[in-house]
Structure 1
């Protein structure tokens, strides 16, 4: 009980200190919000004991670290993100605390946010989840995640923003701004090269500097320099033989040295492995470790953490200078002054209808219409009177499971429920299970309201589904992956590209029974689709949170016009992915990225591989026509900018949105370069018949590559092409220009 009141007591004590100081007209500098933050940091630091400093550098519970009660400096409280605020857990255990008021709004997974290609949606997402975190008095949100989609087997891809560093960079910045406007630190993760879950605690990543800087670091750099993120989380894996949570190259040389990061570096839970490295190699706060033979969850293990007693003893003996702990505490104090000690930060809100509506809007904009032969969608309810819904994912809750992103949602509208609510009064809607995937009814202390147990055999389930399909006007199969082990799940990777649970057979049999078939794939990863040439309509949905079913039904019925586009490439087979063709995956002790910069569409372009569905692909219920691409000048100097423009017209009968994509191609380079690279995008909303001009302005940074010999970005003089496209393979126009 006392522990749960500690944050409140800290605020009360800070208030008493302020009142006493004000009465004496001697407000301490560190409490004076009119003073520059660096003066406040130094003043607070000068008042702290060595023991108080060390206490701030490590956890005191599963999700909190100590403040300085006698100075009125509150504790720090972190929470998983990045898709919703985690339920409260016990002080020393992972079990839920049993609160009745910690059921959150579950927002769509970040793959869905990336699929919106809409920076306004990113800002709305960050603002909404930041309000939820603030209301729960959390000052560190453990998200967003921006690790690059290297392989479709990575179990944690659903938490990230796709394969392209430019798209991830532009989408992460508004999210950070939205979160931090609430006085909550966005903790961008996992820095860096966390691209597999298998052996994530041991694997050492070998990657050349060019790929590191061009592919795997840009979204983190944008988070720091454009997003002004207040926190960064280290990754579990190693780089150059050092764990990423205390890594000289990543944290000291790059993050602080090259980028000027002034925030706090937080370890991933259990990501610290060595006291000396943790002291000197850039880490500030240690969370979740299990050290000195203590098992996971051991009570009061925190004093044995690497940055606890072992750190204090080295300081007291003089073996480590006090300046080392001061570096860390400065960053932690800066965090406090930006969050818990900012008296002007808003109060936030939690579990509100407004947040649910925001999640629904993001989901609607992120759902991707992959294929729509014969205009199967949207569903014409004036002609479609008998609808069959098939598949476990139609009824399975997806806000639980998946690892640290598992949530206790206030409610979740499953696809089946959303479809019935939207269409049930206009059509006779029936359900058939079709297959059994994971019938588990309890995850992380959350008991599902819908019983998923199923005694019938696979043959009986298919027989039932195909018979009902023959009697229906339309069949909607809702399947894909789930958030169970070896699916889309932290700590596990997928074992293959194919759909699990024999779903391909179910889909094939359904198509034989009824050609009017819609397949809805719910996943955070690409999947193989051997039936793609037969099935007329395919929809890519995601783990879309509280309003998942409502958003999907809205798209299927045509209430919302689909406008999402893929943030990663769907390969036909694993061998079409560069990490599997050239690189190593998975690594146990070592993994080498032999593919270098050729990730995603950069690889399929280079090798002229036709993907199942390309990066940036997504259809609409309307059509768009592009005009001629123009440039405002024929060439630019190294310090100049150039603007490209193109007109886009909605040539259909429905209002809709098109995502216009700008790629840059270097026609001659001293080093191998991708055929083209995304350097701009804009989501433009057009009423039926409306036409708008979309413009992109770029400078030499959009033309540059990283020269690892010079350790610098280089833009070589020569001829370039600006390519305007509707996807990585749907080129609408080009214009050449020169860099002098």
Structure 2
């Protein structure tokens, strides 16, 4: 803690009217042998935190070589040409490599509200786990400690798709602040229509699982647990009076720890060429179980209108 405080007391400011996108990561040569030695003596498990500010009113840079109005960053040699802010920079890659060489187990914490490119998690043999913690706020770190310690079994799911290469996504390429030539105003052209998020990936790679796995690292609705579950769906039932469709899903904890599971209901709408655009996969409903003990089951009931 003393090392980091001495290195830099304040984080760069990111706000609506200006942003310093510098990532205050020390160079690996600044981590002394003594500091690393003490850390290794303390534990053979290292926690690596990768953080990214940015959100509404502070859109993150798509190209670190081209800063927008009011945007700056120092340490320009940290980034390769045309890298986005949602990739690892050179200092971070060097730091992760250093930790990977010195610790048997590495756990990565992603402290970012945006979906970063996380393909690098597979490049280091000692990275055993990763936790996405979103925007932890004032109380999030208290829960994080309990999750890492095993006191809490995480049951969250991704609310977006984590792609290996964001630049291959239509919404990424259409997004920005494009200026009119004859007015001081900006516009965005939503050429992607309904195909944003998982609806793009599920439709683009329909019936092509191999290509899908090359494009998508963590799908929408993805999430792991300290235990395992099985899910069994009943037959569909249709009420002839109301036209409502219903079914049940029985969830069983097949592991050795208590935990919650999430059931996600998707449907494929009928589509014909030239008709109203339809995504190949659509989320209809979802529900989370109570905390189930090992071997315990719970039946979740779903019902919806046929027109939905």
Instruction: Please confirm whether the aligned pair reaches a TM-score higher than 0.5, indicating the same fold.
Output: yes
Q: What do residues 64-110 of structure 1 show as CA deviations (whole Å, max 9, x unaligned)?
A: xxxxxxxxxxxxxxxxxxxxxxxxxxxxxxxxxxxxxxxxxxxxxxx
1:532 aligns with 2:121: yes
| Equivalent in the alignment of 2:268 | 665
- Are positions 1:555 and 2:122 aligned together? no
Secondary structure, counterpart of 1:647 in structure 2: strand
- C-alpha displacement of 1:575: 2.2
* More helix as a share of residues: 1
Q: Is the 8 A contact 1:488 1:523 kept in 2?
A: no
SS in 1 for 2:218: coil
In structure 2, how many angstroms separate the alpha carbons of the residues matched to 1:576 and 1:440? 31
In structure 2, the partner of 1:600 is 197
For the pair 1:515 / 2:104, whether they are aligned, the reply is: yes
| 1:570 aligned residue (162, 168, 171) | 162
In terms of fraction of residues, the more strand-rich structure is: 2
Q: Note if 1:699 corresponds to 2:299.
A: no
**Structure 2: distance between partners of 1:579 and 1:525:** 14
> 1:689 corresponds to which residue?
295
Shift of 1:493: 2.6
Gap change, CA 1:667 and 1:512, over 3 Å in 2: farther
Cα distance, 1:644–1:510 mapped onto 2, change above 3 Å: same
Alignment partner of 2:176 out of 568, 585, 589: 585
- Correspondence list, 1:346-385, <5 A: none
| 1:626 aligned onto 2:215 | no
Counterparts in 2 of 1:573 and 1:434: CA distance versus 1, 3 Å? farther
- Structure 2 equivalent of residue 646 of structure 1: 249
Distance verdict in 2 for CA 1:441–1:675, change over 3 Å: closer
> Quick check: 2:154–2:225 contact (8 Å CA) kept in 1?
yes
CA–CA distance in 2 between the matches of 1:516 and 1:578? Answer: 37
Query: How many equivalent residue pairs?
Result: 256
Instruction: After TM superposition, give the deviation of residue 438 of structure 1 in Å.
Output: 8.0
Task: Structure 2: give runs of 5+ residues left out of the alignment.
Answer: 16-23, 63-83, 180-185, 206-211
Q: 1:680 aligns with which of 280, 285, 297?
A: 285
Residues 434 and 601 (structure 1), Cα distance of their counterparts in 2 relative to 1, 3 Å cut: farther
Corresponding residue number in structure 1 for 2:134: 542
Gaps of 5+ in 1: 1-394, 396-430, 445-453, 703-740
1:493 maps to what in 2? 60
Q: 1:593 to 1:650 in 2, by over 3 A?
A: same
When residues 504 and 434 of structure 1 are mapped into structure 2, their CA distance, relative to the original with a 3 A threshold, is farther
Which of the two has higher C-alpha Rg?
Answer: 1
Query: TM-score, normalised on structure 2?
Result: 0.72
Counterparts in 2 of 1:153-164, with a 5 A limit? none
Say whether the 8 Å CA contact 2:28–2:95 is kept in structure 1: no
Change (3 A) 1:442 1:603: closer
Pick aligned residue for 2:93 from 482, 504, 516: 504
Tell me, in whole angstroms, the C-alpha distance in 1 between the residues paired with 2:204 and 2:14: 43
Partners of 2:224 and 2:103 lie apart in 1 by 23
